[in-house]
Amino acid sequence: MKKLIAMVVICLAWGFSGCKKEMLRDPGADARGHTPATLATARANQQVLEELPFSDGLDFSDSRRGLIASDPNLRVRDRKGQIIWDQPTYGFIKGEAPACVNPSLWRQAKLNNIHGLFKVTEGIYQLRGFCLANLTLIEGKSGWIVVDPLMTKQTASRAMAFARKHLKDRPISAVILTHSHIDHFGGVAALFDEENLKNPHIPVIAPKGFLEEATSENVIAGIAMGRRAGYMYGRNLSPSVRGYVDNGLGKSTPFGTFGLIKPNRLVDRTPQEMTIDGVRFVFQYAPESEAPAELAFYLPDKKAFCGAELASHTMHNLYTLRGAKVRNALKWSGYIDQAIRLFGDAQVYFGCHLWPVWGNARVVDFLKRQRDLYKYIHDQTIRLANAGYTPREIAERIKLPESLNRSFSERGYYGTLSHNSKAVYQYYFGWYDGNPAHLNPLPPKESAVRYIQFMGGAHSVLKRARASFDKGEYRWVAEVLNHLVFAEPENEKAKALLAQTYDQLGYQSESGPWRNVYLTAAYAALKHVNLVTRHITGFGKIIPI
């Protein structure tokens, strides 16, 4: 059984002041050979500064609100002494954005640098910046009710020790696992000894289907998903202005000891009331939203709503680049609407990533915008599909209304409008876009060889690609050079230019995962690692518990 859990969890280990409006400069720092930002990239990122309300500092005030203590030396090591979480390494993220980072992503990265123990409201505390997710502590009559014990035993242990240092040293009286993604349950071993992991003596509450989804979502395709996760989460990138900056949803993903526990109480309906260690809860059952098994909850006596990952200060993924089943945008939006109707008197919202929102009017407005975001992506994708547009065409045509587009909480720091609209299309129509030419195309290698022949050979393609690169046409250069590298995998000049192209696409990306994918591909090319992710390794080891 221990080996089974270890195998399952390694498959799950997919593995977050504003800018001034001044001309951006590349500081010249080197990051594993990544090239400087070009003038075209600097101009593109400068335009972002002009389009968004960077003078609005409310998120920075909210992210610091209730700070009890922080740890300037927050480094966490595994049992072999290797650092798996290194908050100080992101100290370079300050001041105005350099030319090689999208200023909107830079802003999100600065917010995610704010870490420590925070008081959310009376009897509710959060540890943020100790892992990818938040660990929440709710004060019960006899002990702490722990919500989402982070991703690894090591980061959860460090967070709990920090909390006990600054709060009451109380026992664990209950655990709530909001959903079936490993960053919300993998650190559970920090709360129990080995015997109690098998038969916990306290309530462990999770949504119906939690155990099945936690052990199955990524098992069948786990090896491929692990490789893809290395790209999405920038596993091989070093933190720097030209390398890893942020994940959008949090700083990074640690790779230590992962655990899993069987819940003994399930949430399977809405509303579902429970009293846990003297605290009244009203649960919302929200399957097939951000996770296949997910719950949210309301604390009526505190007027506090925990939305898990139904709502976050970012556009989330309807499809995750690591690979997983597409999420149901319509249901997701519907659950947020249901929460507004059921818990519309909430005075504080807190989630399992990022920072809270205070005040009833602001909480409701935040939830409405998140609801409208996913509903809009769903409805407009279907409208355009019904008008005959294909996924790639829809991704180019769809634009958010101004009310959502200028709101930082709806920006694409994690998911993007482009790949989320394609996800909605895929959910309803699958991979085939209706174009007969795409029904049975040649495989990439054979197709690429013929493309290069039709284009006049490798020398001609490379010469034209360089000219397009100099014009800042990076998406087109990537498409063309992808053919050339497939046709001639040993063509060093083609790989070098493709790496430079991926650098620029990464620097312009507002999404942390998009940046990571592009820069990891550039790094892979420089290190002569297969660009189609067949040989990326080093995702950490699993220690059975």
Question: DSSP of 120-165, one letter per residue?
Answer: EETTEEEEESSSSS-EEEEE-SSSEEEE---SSHHHHHHHHHHHHH
DSSP label of 114: -
Structure confidence by residue, pLDDT tens digits, 433-449: 999 999 999 999 999 99
Instruction: Specify the amino acid at residue 75.
Output: R
Per-residue pLDDT at 476 exceeds 70: yes
Distances (CA, A) of 77 to 70, 87, 244, 251: 18, 12, 20, 16
Average pLDDT over residues 96-114: 98
CA distance 523 to 242: 11
Q: Cβ distance 308 to 294 under 8 Å? A: yes
pLDDT at 215: 86
In which region does residue 116 sit, left (phi positive, over 0), alpha (psi from -120 to 50) or beta (all else)? left
**pLDDT value at 484 more than 60:** yes
Nearest to 100 by CA among 142, 38, 54, 143: 38
CA angle in degrees (0–180, nearest 5) for 432-434-440: 60
Domain boundaries, the chain: 2-372, 446-508
User: Residues 397, 409, 55, 43: what is their CA dihedral angle, to the nearest 10 degrees?
Assistant: -40
* CA 504 from centroid of its chain's CA atoms: 21
CA dist., res. 30 & res. 311, Å (int):
36
What pLDDT does 3 receive?
40
The structure's pTM equals 0.92
Same fold, 2-372 and 446-508: no
Average pLDDT rounded to a whole number, residues 143-154: 97
Percentage of the residues of the chain whose pLDDT score is greater than 70: 90
- Across the chain, mean pLDDT equals 90
38-93: per-residue pLDDT in tens?
Answer: 999 999 999 999 999 999 999 999 999 999 999 999 999 998 999 999 999 999 99
For the domain made up of 2-372, give the CATH fold. Metallo-beta-lactamase; Chain A (3.60.15)
Give me the pLDDT at residue 533, please: 39
Q: Give pLDDT, residue 5.
A: 44
Residue 463: its pLDDT value, please?
97
Contact 190, 160 (CB under 8 A): yes
Architecture of 446-508 per CATH? Answer: Alpha Horseshoe (1.25)
Q: In this prediction, what percent of the chain has a pLDDT beyond 90? A: 83
pLDDT at 205 over 90: yes
Banded model confidence at residue 528, pLDDT cuts 50, 70, 90: low
Q: How far is CA 415 from CA 60, 162, 306, 422, 484, in A?
A: 22, 32, 21, 11, 29
